[in-house]
Structure 1
Amino acid sequence: MTATPYPFTALVGMADLRLALLLNAVSPAVGGVLVRGEKGTAKSTAVRALAALLPGIDVVADCRFSCDPAAPDPGCPDGPHEPGSGTVRPARMVELPVGASEDRLVGALDIERALSDGVKAFEPGLLADAHRGVLYVDEVNLLHDHLIDLLLDAAAMGASYVEREGVSVRHAARFLLVGTMNPEEGELRPQLLDRFGLTVEVAASRDTDERVEVVRRRLAYDEDPAGFAARWADEEGTLRERVAAARALLRQVRLSDGALRQIAAVCAAFEVDGMRADIVTARTATALAAWAGRTEVTTEDVRQAALLSLPHRRRRAPFDAPGLDEDKLDEVLRETGGGDDEPDPGPGPEGRDEQDGPGGPDGPGGPGGPDGPGGGQPPQGAPEQSPPSAGSSVPEQRTGPDGSNGPEGSNSSDSQVSDATDEGVGGAAAGGPGGERAAVGAAEPFRTRRLDVPGLGEGAAGRRSRARTAHGRTTGARRPRSTLSKLHLSATIRAAAPHQRSRGRQGPGLVVRRDDLREAVREGREGNLVLFVVDASGSMAARKRMSAVKGAVLSLLLDAYQRRDKVGLITFRGAEAALALPPTSSVDAGAARLEKLPTGGRTPLAAGLLKAHEVLRIERLRDPSRRPLLVVVTDGRATGGPDPVARAGRAARLLADDGVASVVVDCEAGPVRLGLAGALAHELRGTPVTLDELRADSMTALVRDARGTNTARTVRETRTVSVRGTWRAA
């Protein structure tokens, strides 16, 4: 970031984003802002510009925790401080990197000094730096879950706690929390979404004039940042004074019983969980009144507050898009007394319906535009593109033996009938070139068994496969590889004990050297790369099974969302395979691509497996610590080209030789089964699983793994599928 930030008042458009940020500047108790939007929409630029508008703060000189000299924190690690005069400095903008460690966020204790000298030597983290300022988390959806939990807990309590092996440090941590994210890269969990006070959707403007103005201002800023900022200094000063005035007026704003009843009615009508939505909406409505220079909350304040505080709390399931029905909102407000005469909402260039900022439509804060910076967005609460519907299902029809069940790659008449069926020739269901059929909806998703990768990994924290992680159960001890954060106390004492006499120990204290320190080795769970290879050929559609197959893949995608996996989607049909979804953390994107998946044509199984091999090779270079799990969804047939079965076998062995863990979901149906998917699983050195066995509540697995064991043991051992071997205990 340059030394001179882009001026907030020079942003083009983005009325909702500017308003949400300013409301948090007026009342940090609102709880922060989550900015959702596509790449290149000036999310980061807007947040960084906010810090310059915040009033300066009085701090105790030489206090690393920014204590207020008028009311110093009695528990400050640098204290105690005597109340008195201090120094004034600007409010800080602190950025939390995606790859930050827990110690970098909350601070680190010097365990060596704590053990040997009994001194709480504490190195402050980013939470201490952000106290009484702004903490900005770019790409918050990519941050590790445990860091998000620590961050949001500190924001809610106004304090940060650091505890290491019985040594505890606490310090104040009150800050304006702002997170930005691109939904294409993955969603936040609903419970984490709820912890952000407000949410704003941003998107690039499609208006040519607005885009021209965005580019013009950005180029002028890049050419001379200081000169550009100077041209907007007057507007920045005016807005800064308004923020300070609104802060001073905030305590005088009255939230009437009528307005409070409207807030409760709106939150109840939209069935939001818990009471946090009611509290945030009330605080936001109060801040809106103060921002408009009023001391009474109006119905319009309640309406605008609900549009900012409720959409992300309406997300009921992982594949649901955030949004709010504005017509329903207006109806609820009318029913609870929204038609009474109310005070004028007052002026405000940052208001929701305001189009012109200072200086008219072409001046500062004028019409919205995209990045650079700028970026208009659809009306707050407008729904995003609908995700796949789980309820639109087509029942699976089991068929008897037909030509399509013929041996793969043979020249028999049965095989010729199979090929004709693959291509959709002569059938009423055929549609489009090459027998392509329209996409069918997915069947109702279900809870699946856990598929995990064997062995012990060291990938990103998640909930699927066993791995060495920073959090989990302690399994051993080792010398620290870097800064010590997780002390293994007993191992440290055992390492130091034999040397106490030679070190001249006097008294009860333990003489500990750095070489004695041992850190705990912990085992938890990691997230994996789950790569789906889905058969979309005519043989899948001919038997009316694609709806059930899509339901199964949707269920596995839901499981991947819950276990913090990355996902990718490869489909094969006709003459080739295609990467429908490159590996991403956005499981929602995978569900959307799956819903639109057409079917028809031959079955190029080898092409699908070779495409998977190439994708996994590239991902191994990008993220070598994330282990892959290959999920092939097919009936095992292979048609098209010379010797398709042999080529598929060679492709499968190529994946197996690379050590890729795999599972084959067998989609074959009907009374006569050829077992081709099982043969494919054998070549992959993976595990075949039928659609029925994929369900967590399936009883078929009890028979499948009998092998002479008693029923009670089988029930216990069939909770988890090990993708390379037999069923194993959960």
Structure 2
Amino acid sequence: MPQQYPFSAVVGSDDMALALILTTVSPDIGGVLVRGEKGTAKSTIVRALASVLPPIDVVAGDRFSSDPRDPAPLSPDGPFPADAAAETRAVRLVELPVGATEDRVLGSLHLERALSEGKAEYEPGLLAKAHRGILYVDEVNLLHDHLVDLLLDAAAMGRSTVERDGVSVEHAARFVLVGTMNPEEGELRPQLLDRFGLTVEVAAPRDPALRVDVVRRRMAYDADPDAFAATYADSERALTDRIQAAQARVADVELTDETLLQIAELCAACEVDGMRADIVTARTAVAHAAWHGRTTVSTEDVRAAARLALPHRRRRNPFDAPGLDEELLDRVLGEDDPEPDPEPEPPGGGDDGGGDPTPTDHDETSYGESMGTRPPHDVPDTAGASGEQSTTVSAGATYRPKLFTVRGTGAGEAGKRSRAVTDNGRRIGSRAGQRGPLHLTETVRAAAPHQLARGRTSGRLLLRSQDLRVATREGQESNLVLFCVDASGSMAARKRMEQVKTAILSLLLDAYQRRDKVGLVTFRGSTADLALPPTYSVDIAASRLEVLPAGGRTPLAEGLLEAARVLDLERVRDPRRRPLLVVVTDGRATSGSAAVERSRQAAGLLAKARVDSLVVDCESGGFRLGLAAVLAEHLSAQHVPISEVSAEALTGAIRGRAA
């Protein structure tokens, strides 16, 4: 087996390396969440961490890695005699796959022994294996929420309790939890984000010299892993010795009342919720002092701890990325170590003094040819050479939208939108099989009629594999919500586009909370564009929506056909995830009767494919054509006026009718 890539050979991930080391020095910090784009060595450095950690002593033969020096180890294999044999082994790195089940994480009834010997024996799960080691979850943002809750609770309590299938077990589960994620694939819920002790943002280095160094090292490792690892052997041993010294020193580091007050002032200034931020920052500052060989926590330690412990805990909106105000950090901590006055800013405001103007959020461009109509009075005329106007409008304040679901019962990934048969949820029955949570009552009921034929006269129940029944549970699934948005000239009036963007942003926020995948198709001018391929990142969808321009003709057919193409591709990539198509339009299709007929045919194609659809009708004013309602009929879709997307507005309308 080739050598692991050395921890000390990774280039350009200083913050991440520091966060990982501090959590191994003081595991009470609570783990690390690493956020970053793909290809930034997140997995490489985490897997390399275990090789530089000092080895540990464990009780020989104990499946739960108990410490021989612990007078009362929490192990189901105990109690152990005072002279129990011990053995020394390397720290384990246990990887938790995204598709793991709750049984695999917690452990469960040992089915083989239950069936063959009639014994109810506990089979340890991944939490038991990770005790006193590292539990690594790649793509933690794609892990089911209930599994993330289990991991974080175990990491906080230091133990795992199992009460299921006739098994009652409690065992120690103290580990360093490390999660990595790509924010483009979706965010963790804020309450789960807060449970990670530290968080770091990683990105590929922009310095060409560093990038060359990364490539050279990787190519050298791939050519001869053993020789490359030998080159860094001394660095790895020195790192192990330093970690071991810091672990021994951390209990003796002094945290003064003055420093604690400094930490409290900093957390209050950052407007963090709860007290976890203060505790984690204090523990991290102590570990940082121990790592640098100090016996007293300094302002430098507090600053380093705050940069790792507070960015993901500040009060923020759902679509805001985690971050820390460095100027605020300097103001709170800068009194004891004042910074020199900054140099005057160079002309033009640029960092390099080049005088380039600050780029705008978007460029307004023109599309196609003129519609031959006057633009609305509240739309700025940004016509280009073609004569067609284009504008962008910001969304208003979001609201709680009405819940729109996919009809029927699915079998997709667990979420919070549509009905589905899932691994969690309420038990509604059972089925034959060997995969899934065992339904003991139904298993016994299936075996009971065959006991005489199997020769049972007394004693334990005689079971066969065909008797096994697993529980069928009904819960909720997440869906693919694909927005198909009309950005044509008829939608360009400022008030209407603001209403449209507000409604879509509110539906995006709802999709974020329900763990949906989202995509965005827009159509205007003469074509339709896939503005955002289906992704878990509603943050990116919101940013694309914010700069969406409007103007030009209405190629409705092209928009529907592009949506159909995207849904066909996603059906192949993710066949279990059912789609919900949300068409946002006033229903107009310009360019004559041929375009109208093409739109009807495209709508019929989607209806024939049995795509669940919703038409959000954006038509307003005293004179209405009702074209969006006609489109909904051709799509076999639900038709909702944009004013009724809001749950509060719908409730108010119902109350008004009742009165």
Normalised by the length of structure 2, the TM-score is 0.91
Q: Deviations over 1:14-67 (max 9, x none)?
A: 221111111112111111111111111111111111111100011122222222
Is residue 443 of structure 2 the alignment partner of residue 487 of structure 1? no
The answer for the alignment partner of 2:90 in structure 1 is 90
Per-residue deviation, 1:138: 1.0
Per-residue deviation, 1:699: 4.0
SS in 2 for 1:420: coil
Letter paired with 2:35? R
Is residue 430 of structure 2 the alignment partner of residue 431 of structure 1? no
Letter paired with 1:419? M
Per-residue deviation, 1:167: 1.9
The answer for the alignment partner of 1:461 in structure 2 is 414
Letter paired with 1:449? K
Contact 1:424/1:430 (<8 A) preserved: no
Question: Could you tell me which of 601, 604, 617 is aligned with 1:666?
Answer: 617
Equivalent residue pairs, number: 630
Is residue 310 of structure 2 the alignment partner of residue 310 of structure 1? yes
- Superposed, which structure 2 residues align to 1:404-419 within 5 Å? 419=371
**What percentage of aligned pairs have identical amino acids?**
63
Contact 1:422/1:600 (<8 A) preserved: no
Greater Cα shift, 581-590 or 115-124 = 115-124
- Give distance in 2, aligned partners of 1:567 and 1:46: 31
The answer for the alignment partner of 1:635 in structure 2 is 586
The answer for the alignment partner of 1:647 in structure 2 is 598
Per-residue deviation, 1:189: 0.5
- Give distance in 2, aligned partners of 1:115 and 1:586: 45
The answer for the alignment partner of 1:20 in structure 2 is 19
Comparing both chains, which one has the higher relative contact order based on Cα–Cα distances under 8 Å and sequence gaps of 6 or more? Answer: 1
- Give distance in 2, aligned partners of 1:54 and 1:655: 57
- Give distance in 2, aligned partners of 1:623 and 1:427: 41
- Superposed, which structure 2 residues align to 1:317-716 within 5 Å? 317-334=317-334, 338=336, 419-421=371-373, 429-432=381-384, 434=386, 435-480=388-433, 482-483=434-435, 485-503=436-454, 510-542=461-493, 544-640=495-591, 643-699=594-650, 702=653, 711=658
- Give distance in 2, aligned partners of 1:160 and 1:700: 44
Contact 1:664/1:681 (<8 A) preserved: yes
Letter paired with 1:429? D
Per-residue deviation, 1:101: 2.1
Per-residue deviation, 1:701: 8.0
Per-residue deviation, 1:527: 0.2
Greater Cα shift, 434-443 or 206-215 = 434-443
Per-residue deviation, 1:283: 0.4
Per-residue deviation, 1:116: 8.3
Q: Deviations over 1:691-714 (max 9, x none)?
A: 1111101247856998xxxx49xx
Q: 1:701 to 1:625 in 2, by over 3 A?
A: farther
SS in 1 for 2:373: helix
Letter paired with 2:422? T
- Superposed, which structure 2 residues align to 1:192-271 within 5 Å? 192-271=192-271
Q: Deviations over 1:396-415 (max 9, x none)?
A: xxxxxxxxxxxxxxxxxxxx
The answer for the alignment partner of 2:344 in structure 1 is none
- Give distance in 1, aligned partners of 2:379 and 2:514: 42
SS in 2 for 1:206: coil
Letter paired with 1:521? T
Q: Deviations over 1:159-212 (max 9, x none)?
A: 223332342222221111111111111101101111111011111111111111
Letter paired with 2:177? L
Contact 2:107/2:126 (<8 A) preserved: yes
Contact 1:55/1:90 (<8 A) preserved: yes
Contact 2:108/2:165 (<8 A) preserved: no
- Superposed, which structure 2 residues align to 1:92-241 within 5 Å? 92-111=92-111, 113-114=113-114, 119-241=119-241
Greater Cα shift, 301-310 or 128-137 = 128-137
Q: 1:561 to 1:433 in 2, by over 3 A?
A: farther
Normalised by the length of structure 1, the TM-score is 0.82
SS in 1 for 2:154: helix
SS in 1 for 2:371: helix
- Give distance in 2, aligned partners of 1:422 and 1:147: 57
Contact 2:113/2:121 (<8 A) preserved: yes
Per-residue deviation, 1:113: 4.6
The answer for the alignment partner of 1:45 in structure 2 is 44
The answer for the alignment partner of 1:59 in structure 2 is 58
Q: 1:436 to 1:5 in 2, by over 3 A?
A: farther
Per-residue deviation, 1:504: 5.5
- Give distance in 2, aligned partners of 1:56 and 1:436: 68
Contact 2:380/2:391 (<8 A) preserved: no
SS in 2 for 1:593: helix
Contact 1:570/1:578 (<8 A) preserved: yes
- Give distance in 2, aligned partners of 1:426 and 1:446: 25
The answer for the alignment partner of 1:284 in structure 2 is 284
Per-residue deviation, 1:508: 7.7
